[in-house]
Structure 1
Amino acid sequence: MSYSLNGRLALVTGASGGIGAAISRALSGAGARVALAHFDGDERVRELAREIADDGSAAGAFEADLRSTTAPAELHTRVNDLMGAPDILVSAAGDYPRTPHADLTQDRWSECLALNLTAHHLLVQALAPAMISQRHGRVITIGSVLASTGRHDLADYIAAKAGLEGLTRALARELGEHGITVNCVAPGSIRVPAEEQVVPDPAAMEERQLARQCVRRRGGPEDVASAVAFLVSDEAGFITGQTLRVDGGWILD
């Protein structure tokens, strides 16, 4: 089944990453116009915007450092001025720092939570009023299955992602009466280019990961994008407050 998003405008944060880019392609492929939020003048996002435009959809690139508490509202203003009011938000920006808990400084902890939790809250605060006035909206937060499993050296990241699932449920309660659904998509082990730089032995890691999963292949960004495209469609209008794990059956409880 294909989903029509004709007439919709989606704001996708973290659009320079493998998952964010795949989501942007999926939504534009379904007919949505896409505002691509990125950090630090990333040329990859400008190339993605050109690619989407060449395929017949509209896309704009917007630089934003979402670690700043003023950035989400400023991003919303710039998108609204240039493209209109988004009725789809895919809040995918985040980072993946690895620091032993004993070595976590207060600054590192605060910075991680700022991007992986607080920015999501502030983005919804900025975009929700227009969605409420339109009586329609779709909000997707991008979480992680690690919120359920735990892992060494990721206490700040996992705390933020667990908080994001709770935030998703709370927002679903508050916004549902206005025709807005709020869901979390939690990827499992997704193969992205950055893996080669982050993982000391990618081949060994992949072997261990496949043994954990029911589906014995690595997930790709397109697997996550397909879940997001469904959840923002009209066909998913009765689904809200849920965390959908896209993990090949890694976490089953």
Structure 2
Amino acid sequence: MPYSLKGRLALVTGATGGIGSAIARAFAVSGARVALAHFDSADDANDLAQEIADGGSVAEVFDADLRSPTTPAELHARVHEWMGPPDILVTAAGDYPRTPHADLTRDRWSECLSLNLTAHHLLAQAAVPAMISRRHGRIITIGSVLASAGRHNLADYIAAKAGLEGLTRALARELGEHGITVNCVAPGSIRVPAEDQVVPDTEAMEERQLARQCVRRRGRPEDVASAVAFLASDEAGFIAGQTLRVDGGWLLG
């Protein structure tokens, strides 16, 4: 990686997902210590921590169910106690439910927004005081191009991701004077293993997707991780409140 994060501590939620684990690896290669937050995937998290350790970096594992409103602050407190205050917060945890709008219950709507939007707000709220005291911080939210593109059966998810872009801009306004930058990375169609669980015909989907893009290949988790590592670096210190689409030119406007 071209960016040095030596001496930094990064907290990554959703760290065992395809994108989250790539971000954690990118941080480790760049010299950062990494707090790997996951939910109910201890084996994967421990394997990733061992992989990072084998590469000469430091990673610790933290289990956290971010659907609970008390968990974000508790997670930050545990990381702070065990590793120190995070310099970098990446909120990559989320889920991708597919429910027709007519079938969305109030509980399902609330659960989706809780994980895909509210948890990001609460994590930032927990991390910011220590960042302000050091007059340095990087907060990077992981959104989705679907916040702009739209898609059927994803009204709750898309509403949350659109809200996340707004939250990013609002926090950038409030926190910039304290040396903290806040940005959003919005992946496009990224090939991750979880895709196989929600797409019945992957080959047909890929053909349709490539026709939408300028770059005629599927996105990789490493494409997203590279963008996140840049925004976490000192080189990105004058970038704030932006949504960086990593989508192969799917959405150009």
Q: Which residue of 1 aligns with 2:62?
A: 62
Tell me the amino acid that sits aligned with residue 37 of structure 1.
A
What are structure 2's unaligned runs of at least 5 residues?
none
For 2:152, the equivalent position in structure 1 comes to 152
Alignment RMSD (CA, Å): 0.6
Query: TM-score by structure 1 length?
Result: 0.99
Q: Are 2:203 and 1:203 aligned?
A: yes
2:152 counterpart SS class: coil
Counterpart position of 1:240: 240
| Fraction of identical pairs, as percent | 81
Distance 1:81 1:183 in 2: 26
> Over residues 111-140 of structure 1, what are the superposed CA-to-partner deviations in whole Å (9 max), with x where a residue is unaligned?
000000000000000000000000000000
Is 1:103 equivalent to 2:103 in the alignment?
Answer: yes
Which residue identity does 2:201 align to in structure 1? D
Tell me the residue number matched to 1:225: 225
Counterpart of 1:186 in 2: which secondary structure? strand
Deviation string, structure 1 residues 79-123 (Cα, Å, up to 9, x no partner):
011000001000000000000000000000000000000000000
Partner residue of 1:20? 20
Question: In the alignment, is the contact (CA less than 8 A) between 2:16 and 2:41 conserved in 1?
Answer: no
- Structure 2 CA distance for aligned equivalents of residues 231 and 127 of structure 1: 17
- Trace 1:67-78 onto structure 2 (pairs within 5 A): 67-78=67-78
Distance (Å, rounded) in 1 between the aligned partners of 2:134 and 2:36: 22
Runs of 4+ more than 3 Å apart: none
Name the aligned partner's letter for residue 98 of structure 1.
R
How many correspondences in the alignment?
Answer: 253
Cα-to-partner distance string for 1:151-205 (whole Å, 9 max, x where unaligned):
0000000000000000000000000000000000000000001111210100000
Provide structure 1 residue ranges, at least 5 long, that are not aligned to the other structure.
none
Q: 95-104 or 189-198, which moves further after superposition?
A: 189-198
- Normalised by the length of structure 2, the TM-score is 0.99
- Supply the distance in 1 between the matched residues of 2:101 and 2:7 (Cα, whole angstroms): 46
Distance of 1:234 and 1:86 partners within structure 2: 15
